[in-house]
Each structure stands twice: as C-alpha cells, then as structure tokens.
Amino acid sequence: MSTAQIAFLKGHGTENDFVIIPDHDGRLELSPAAVARMCDRRAGIGADGVLRVVRSAAHPEARAMADEAEWFMDYRNGDGSVAEMCGNGVRVFARYLQRVGLAEEGDLAIATRAGIRRAHIAKDGPDGTPGDITVGMGRALLPEGGITVTVGERDWPARNVNMGNPHAISFVDDLADAGNLFTAPLVSPASAYPDGTNVEFVVDRGPNHVAMRVHERGSGETRSCGTGACAVMVAAARRDGADPALLGHPVTYTVDVPGGRLVISENPDGTVEKTGPAVIVAEGSFDPSWLETAVG
C-alpha cells in the first residue's frame, strides 16, 4: 500500500453511518480486516460500513455499467464482508459526489452490485439545509415459503423480501420484543437465505406508518437500513392489501427508524423509491500503515 495519506469522509443517512473512501481510479485494495478496522468504533473511525468511490470503468464488477453510471459504490459491511447494496449508503454516496463537485442537484445514476440505482438530489432548503435524496431502489422480489424468526424463547412468522439483498420481516407488538439485536436472530429455514439475511422487526404507528428495528447482516443492529425500510414498506403494504399493481396508483408509507424517518413509495410497475436525508459530517486522512497492521 502507498505511503501517501488516505483521504476519507464520514457521513450518515438517518444515522446509518459510513466511512467514505475516494478511490476514483480503483488503486486501493481494502482487505476485510482493513475495512473492519476502519469501522471499529473504539480503535477505528467508526461506522456501519465503508463506501469506496470508484469510477465504474476502473472496477471489474462495474465496467459493464460504465456507459450508464460513471461511479460505482463498492460497499462493504462493518465486518469487512462485501454486500450487494445499501439503501442509505446510496444517498450518502450521492451526497459525497455532490459535495466534491462530481454531481449536481437533479438526477444521477450510480452503479452497485445490485445493478444501477438512480438518485435525485433535491434543491437545498431556503435555510441552506441540504435537500433530501430520492433513490430508485428497483423492484422487490417476494420469494414464496414460510419463514420463522426466533429471538430467545419467542418466534414470529416472517415475510421474505429481496431488495437486491435479502430481508426477513416480522410484525411484532413491541419493538422491545426483538431484544439485543447485536446478536443475529435465528432465521429458519436456513436454506431460504444461503448467504445470511438482514432481519427487521416492525410495529404499526398509524395508517401507512410503521416503525422498525433491524439487524443488518455483517454489521449488527444499526440505526437505519434503507433497503430494509423498503422491504418493510412492501411487506406492510401486502399485509394491508395495498398492492400498487392492483390499485393502479402508488402506495406510500412512512417508515420510522431509530435514526430518523424515511418515506417509501411503491409504484404500480413494482419499482420502489426511497426518500430521506444524507449528511457529510467530517473529512480527514489517515496513515495507510495503520491499515497494514490489520490482519485477518
């Protein structure tokens, strides 16, 4: 690894926080151990995950998308594992591009491992508050089959929803029922999620309004999960008999997460859109030798 300092930024979307590593030409090799060290909240910078910013043409997993999206979001979970997508991460990624002059207010295409995601950066507010960012999250897949989520001695039926990454969603009476979500709940059958899954617990707050807690695969409990909020909205709408394809108009839910609030809409064609804030809170640099000592 080069002896040059490595630049980073820190940002969050509804308190789902990320270390952002600008690596436009794709020259850095970040091992899982190095990512985990950056995300360590005591010995590192601290985050739920890492967003590496790479030109699509410079990354083998994104070159096929380079004609449509100049930038690729190389997302890693807090434990260093590679993930397909991160809904809050896409908004923070878009905010980074806007901050450094690589994107402007309006529409933006971003390449991810789950395909191209299209974002819209709204105008800043009159007081200078950064405008919310809306991201097209693609279509939800609803695999068939019964799912059960277990915490301690209790279990609940769950809905299997895939938003480019997997989710198991259970509706409960009280969010405290989920217990300590730093430990992954047991999800069965395991064959439904061969690569593991995110798990959401959901309660009702009012008409078209729910609240959730989430255990993110590879990160533990987080303050927010964008793809999880989308999956929860779709599961809640199906439970409530509100399928946009049958109704012929979009369906919108407010989804409260521990870190804030997201607004999720599903359109009659099945596409899901997520709107929420994204904030860059700091930037700096670190010595690469610090990462070189990360072994694992």
For 86-108, letters b (16+ CB in 10 Å) and e give bbbbbbbbbbbbbbeeebeeeeb
Question: 144: annotated binding-site residue?
Answer: no
Phi, psi of 43 (to 5 degrees): -105, 0
DSSP string, 125-146: PTT-PPPPEEEEEEEPB---S-
Question: 216: annotated binding-site residue?
Answer: yes
Tokens describing residue 43: 């010995």
Question: 293: annotated binding-site residue?
Answer: no
Question: 160: annotated binding-site residue?
Answer: no
Question: 29: annotated binding-site residue?
Answer: no
Tokens describing residue 171: 């509706």
Question: 226: annotated binding-site residue?
Answer: yes
Question: 87: annotated binding-site residue?
Answer: yes
Question: 208: annotated binding-site residue?
Answer: no
Question: 44: annotated binding-site residue?
Answer: no
Q: How far apart are CA 213 and CA 259, in angstroms?
A: 10
* Nearest alpha carbon to residue 236 among 262, 261, 211: 211
Question: 198: annotated binding-site residue?
Answer: yes
DSSP string, 85-107: --HHHHHHHHHHHHHTTSS-SEE
Q: How far apart are CA 250 and CA 265, in angstroms?
A: 6
Q: Which residues are catalytic?
A: 86, 225
Binding residues for substrate: 16, 77, 87-88, 165, 198, 216-217, 226-227
